[in-house]
Amino acid sequence: MTRDDRHPQGKKRLGISFEFFPPKSEEMEGQLWTTIEALAGWNPDFVSVTYGAGGSTKAPTLTTVRRLIADTTLPTAAHITCVDATREEVRHVAEEFIAAGVRRFVALRGDPQSGVGAAYAPHPGGFANAAELVAGLRDIGDFDISVSAYPEKHPESPDVAADIDMLKRKADAGAARALTQFFFDNDVFERYLERVRAAGVTIPVVPGIMLIQNLTQLKRFASLCGASIPTFLDERFAGLDDQPQARAEVAADVAAEQIEDLVRRGITDFHLYTMNRAPLVSAVLQRLGLERSGDARSGAAA
């Protein structure tokens, strides 16, 4: 497939967004900002910064968001959750982000402090779910709000229908788009999207694309969040344990091929889980025929 085949003239450009997580050490902070500087030139529609279980990374998330807004021109979204917090506490967190210049949120219920897969219980004085959180943010102001979606069903949902009903409630509350949990089977996503539209949900459902840095670690994480790992991935990475460059090439090929197939199915926007590393992200975007366009720094060092 030629570059022109991947990105033909006259077609809507691919919309991309990047997800980062706040650093936990000085070394990781350096890596994050090197990554942000390297990826800024891809001109993402927005970037987002995650928020740890039970609000455990509030301070580093706020610090990262403040610096992104102050030192770059990247449209920046802050993740915000309602788990283990009262409505007043969540509103206070939102107001801190707003004071920092945030006008975009990714509103999530969140995982308990004990981690992904632990039993969830709404705080007695808090928002019961992400739909209520979206409505609460709307009560504060007119923000661009993204929410989550699960092509293979949230692991705590009784069935797909209940899961899609929750997505509809989030959309009805004012969400602008849904960003999906990662998946690798595009047929699963297409069937899910058909059911979402049949349920009357009209907001964009943006595929979340996981770039495979480590297949073994990804399998462990996927088992907790209800995402499946197709056997073809084992076949693609077979025999490459001691060949990091070859693994990186395969990982870039896998992600680019998934996106190209989704484009053929009519999808034009993608949310990339960067894992705070730039090389694989850039390799994927290069394979898609995208071009870097400028520098998102405002003059200060990024």
**Among 19, 29, 260, 291, which one carries the catalytic annotation?**
19
The three state secondary structure string of the chain is: CCHHHHCCCCCCCCEEEEEECCCCCHHHHHHHHHHHHHHHCCCCCEEEECCCHHHCCHHHHHHHHHHHHHHECCCEEEEEECCCCCHHHHHHHHHHHHHCCCCEEEEECCCCCCCCCCCCCCCCCCCCCHHHHHHHHHHHCCCEEEEEECCCCCCCCCCHHHHHHHHHHHHHHCCCEEEEEECCCHHHHHHHHHHHHHCCCCCCEEEEEECCCCHHHHHHHHHHHCCCCCHHHHHHHCCCCCCHHHHHHHHHHHHHHHHHHHHHCCCCEEEEECCCCCHHHHHHHHHCCCCCCCCCECCCCC
The reply to whether 19 belongs to the active site is: yes
Residues that are catalytic: 19
